[in-house]
Amino acid sequence: MKNNNFKIDFIGAGFSRCGTTWLYSCLKEHSKVCVSSVKETDFFKKEEAENNLNHYSIFFNHCKKEQIKGEINPSYATNQETLERVKRIYPNIKLIFIIRNPIKRALSTYLYGNKYSNKVAIINEDEFKKEWEDREQYYKYLKKWYKNFPKENIYIMTLDEIEKTPKQSLQKLYSFLEVDDSFVPSNINEKENKAHIYYFPKTHKFLTKCYKKIKNTPLLLKFTNLLFLNKLKNKISEANRKEIEKPEISKKTRNYLKKQFRDEVIKLEKLTGKDLSLWK
């Protein structure tokens, strides 16, 4: 299929460990919204993206004419080359970012890094503090997106809002996307990607590697039912994983990190206009 004029309407560009899987699931149910057949196509990470929109359109073959189209990929937020490609191809696209209490996100990221262990995660607090010392999570990336795209085309959500008032949070997002804001998805109260480990880590790694190979190879992608493959991969992954209790960090470490992140939170408030006082 040749379609070098292919167009999408929105990208959920960030951030990882902030609820983007939930967002993908909710948008997928809306009759006027069509998300890519896989959550993260990684298309805009590729150098050849601008000249290969026909490949990108394959991820949206299932979409109807009256639906708006978009992708959710939290890894885009922190990639400068991706930002530049998106700007060149879709300068007026709508952008969605979810941000989360930086301490909770840091902990979630730490646990995610241990997902291939078949043991319950134990937090080395000294190592954990050192990893996030003088490190910004959102501001240095978001300010670049604000600089390169119209402010009115950027929508910021917080995970706090989503968890407290999911229906209202989605209604506001639907309004931003200019689709029916009365729709309520069936999985609105479900929590995605709970803390987990894998019974057979090597099996999950192998499946993920194969899936990425197909996703990033145009010829393989053309002759593959990606929706079916994605469902199969997810079913195998669900059977292979075990949910675990999230280990807690000490009050001392939590206070240390809150102090570390306070300056960034203040800058984020000014940039986004969001009230983040509970994070300070």
Average pLDDT over residues 195-202: 71
* 211 half-sphere exposure, CB direction, 13 A CA radius: 23
Q: What is the mean pLDDT of residues 185-189?
A: 92
Per-residue pLDDT averaged across 158-162, rounded? 96
Condensed to tens digits (0 to 9), the pLDDT of residues 201-254 reads 777 778 777 777 777 776 666 666 666 776 777 788 778 777 767 778 899 999
The residue behind tokens 């190879």 is 217
pLDDT of residue 127: 83
Of 63, 54, 61, give the one whose Cα is nearest residue 219. 54
Which CATH number fits the domain 10-102+136-191, given the four candidates 3.40.50.300, 1.20.210.10, 3.40.50.150, 3.30.70.2390? 3.40.50.300
Calpha distance 209→224 (Å, rounded): 16
Cβ atoms 269, 153 nearer than 8 A? no
Please answer whether residues 93 and 10 qualify as being in contact, where contact means their C-beta atoms are separated by less than 8 angstroms.
Answer: yes
Residue ranges covered by each domain of the chain: 10-102+136-191
| pLDDT above 70: residue 118 | no
Q: What is the pLDDT of residue 209?
A: 79
**Strands across the sheet containing 94-99:** 33-35, 68-72, 10-14, 94-99, 154-158
For range 24-42, the mean pLDDT: 95
* Region 43-48 average pLDDT: 93
* Model pLDDT, residue 210: 78
Bridging pattern class, strands 154-158 and 94-99: parallel
pLDDT of residue 34: 98
Query: Exposed e or buried b for every residue in 161-195, given b needs 16+ CB within 10 A?
Result: bbeeebeebbbebbebbebebebebeebeeeeeeb
